[in-house]
Structure 1
Amino acid sequence: MKAAIIGYGKMGREIERILRERGDEVALIIDADNRQDLDAAHLAGIDVALEFTTPATAYDNIRTCLECGVAVVSGTTGWTDRLGELQALCRERHGAFFYASNYCLGVNLMFRLNRQLAALMNRVGGYDVRIEEVHHTEKKDAPSGTAITLAEGIIAELDAKSGWVNYAPGIAHAANRVERSGDTPADRVEIRSVREGAVPGIHTVTYESADDMLELRHTIKNRRTLAAGAVVAAAFLCGRQGVFGMDDLLEESK
């Protein structure tokens, strides 16, 4: 596999290590100081690009790859209000595009368990639900894409919830924000965002009644699990056409 890495931060470097361990070729690395090299000439011959950058640059990066006929795997979060545009472009160009808010296998199993639990809670009743996500202080977006995916799974199954809001003290750019925890409308799922230390990622879904509490939690120990999942997704994408996500990859592995 001949790969390009777009975004050479901690995640990009971990992806590079795994690609080289596998014997894949890293033919192009794009970062902030050479972003002008993300063009048709430099992408020529690339099988797949792995894009992990920032909410401000992800859309243009992915669009460029698709317009140049290069398959692209992306895990950048905080910009996905425009995801549908790129999925449509991919189909129009007969390209290949894989997007996931989180490439950790355990997190994607949590997504499935989360929906199943919400469906059960919808039948039982008597519980309210909230989400907390904890990440390192360098994370640019809040709430995390993983937390949003969890919230969307709950909303799809729980009749009492029709949207989500974010409580993120000290994070000015948080979307759909409530002023403080406790102000959340009854028909919204509260997502509390915490930024501390070097935490790779902790996500907790909590159901609480007057009498008990149930928690579904996933903790990422290191970035390698995320990078490894992205590389597996890249290998999966090679030679394919269409729009894909982790559900497609999990179904393929059965």
Structure 2
Amino acid sequence: MKIALLGYGRMGRAIEEIATERGHKIVLKISEDIDTYDLDKSEIDVAIDFSVPKAAFKNITTCFKHNIPVVSGTTGWLNDYEKAVNLCKEQGNCGFIYASNFSIGVNVFFELNEKLASMMKSLDEYSVEIEEIHHTKKLDAPSGTAITLAQQIIAKNPRLKDWQLDHPEKNEIPIYAKRIDDVHGTHTVSYKSSIDDIEIMHTAHSRKGFAKGAVIAAEWLKDKKGVFTMKDALSGILNSSEE
């Protein structure tokens, strides 16, 4: 498979390593903005975007115009997500997956989070909060993963209306974001009461989990048309765990 890397920072280099190990070829590497490159669909099977928020929308939609499917893990640009989805659908000849986190372990964590939220929704004595810890060079806060966790909980619990960074109002989930050197990503969902606490946590030890998941998503997306999720790409893995 011929892959274009849109964003060649630490994640881009980790993806290159995993993709090469899996027998793929990196045919294009750009740092941020795709504008100056002439994309050729015959030379690119799929693009993987881990760029920066200001460049992500343009990178993604430029690929759509050239019928190149895109896997994107860039966070901090989601105000334009629906526009990107609509453009992909209008184009009609390319595929798109966006995920806040491509790690297989985190996607299992998402499944656990939804299950726990369903179990806790009627237990009014528990309050819920989310903490995320990342390295100091992460540009956005809270993380996209923390936002996804909050959105999953809100969808299961009608008492909760929204999430808020640090200072929640009533019926909002607090998200606490910490930035510490050399932390690849730790997410904790806590339900607390005067009697006891219940917590689930995911801790990443390196970027390899995120990189591997992104490459697996790209392998799955190649030659598909439409808008998909990481859950679609991992459906075989996640469904087999329920048997």
TM-score per shorter chain, which class?
A: over 0.9
- Which residue number in structure 2 is paired with residue 171 of structure 1? none
Matched, 1:83 2:75: no
TM-score (norm 2): 0.94
Alpha carbons of 1:17 and 1:202: their partners in 2 closer, same or farther (altered >3 Å)?
A: same
| Counterpart check, 1:65 vs 2:63 | yes
Q: Deviations over 1:61-108 (max 9, x none)?
A: 101111111011000011112111111111111210011000111111
Which residue is equivalent to 1:211? 195
| 1:161-184 Cα deviation digits (max 9, x unpaired) | 1001002xxxxxxxxxx3xxxxx2
Distance 1:37 1:2 in 2: 20
Question: What does residue 225 of structure 2 align with?
Answer: 241
TM-superposed deviation, 1:223: 0.1
Contact 1:3 1:24 (C-alpha < 8 Å) held by counterparts: yes
Residue type at the aligned position of 2:156: E
Moved over 6 A (4+): none
TM-score (norm 1): 0.90
2:24 is matched with which residue? Answer: 24
Where 1:164 maps in the other structure, the secondary structure is strand
Q: Which range moved further: 72-81 or 133-142?
A: 72-81
Where in structure 2 are there 5+ consecutive unaligned residues? none
SS in structure 1 of the partner of residue 43 of structure 2: coil
Per the TM alignment, residue 60 of structure 1 is displaced from its structure 2 partner at its CA by 0.7
Q: What residue in structure 2 maps to residue 150 of structure 1? A: 149
Task: Report how far residue 39 of structure 1 moved.
Answer: 3.4
> 1:38 and 1:146 mapped to 2: Cα distance?
31
Question: What is the CA-CA distance between 1:44 and the residue it aligns to?
Answer: 4.6
In the alignment, the residues of structure 1 paired with residue 13 and residue 157 of structure 2 have an alpha-carbon distance, to the nearest angstrom, of 40
Q: Does 1:10 align with 2:16?
A: no
Residue equivalent to 1:164: 163
CA positional deviation for 1:37: 3.3
How many Å separate the matches in 2 of 1:155 and 1:35? 36
Q: Among 207, 210, 226, which residue is 1:223 paired with?
A: 207
Q: Does 1:251 align with 2:241?
A: no
Q: Contact between 1:39 and 1:68, CA under 8 Å: does it hold in 2? A: no
Aligned residue pairs total: 237
Task: Give the corresponding residue for 1:198.
Answer: 182
Deviation of residue 186 (structure 1)? Answer: 2.1
Identity %: 44
AA aligned opposite 2:187: H
Distance 1:244 1:217 in 2: 26
1:5 touches 1:29 (CA, 8 Å); kept in 2?
Answer: yes
* 3-state SS in 2 of match to 1:193: strand
Mapped to 2, the partners of 1:161 and 1:86 lie a distance apart of: 28
- Correspondence 1:172-187 to 2 at 5 A: 178=167, 184-187=168-171
For residues 135-179 of structure 1, give each alpha carbon's deviation from its aligned partner in whole angstroms, at most 9, with x where no partner exists. Answer: 000000000000000000010011221001002xxxxxxxxxx3x
Match of 1:138 in 2: 137
- Per-residue deviation, 1:114: 0.8
Structure 1: 5+ residue stretches without partners? 168-177, 179-183
SS in structure 2 at match of 1:40:
coil
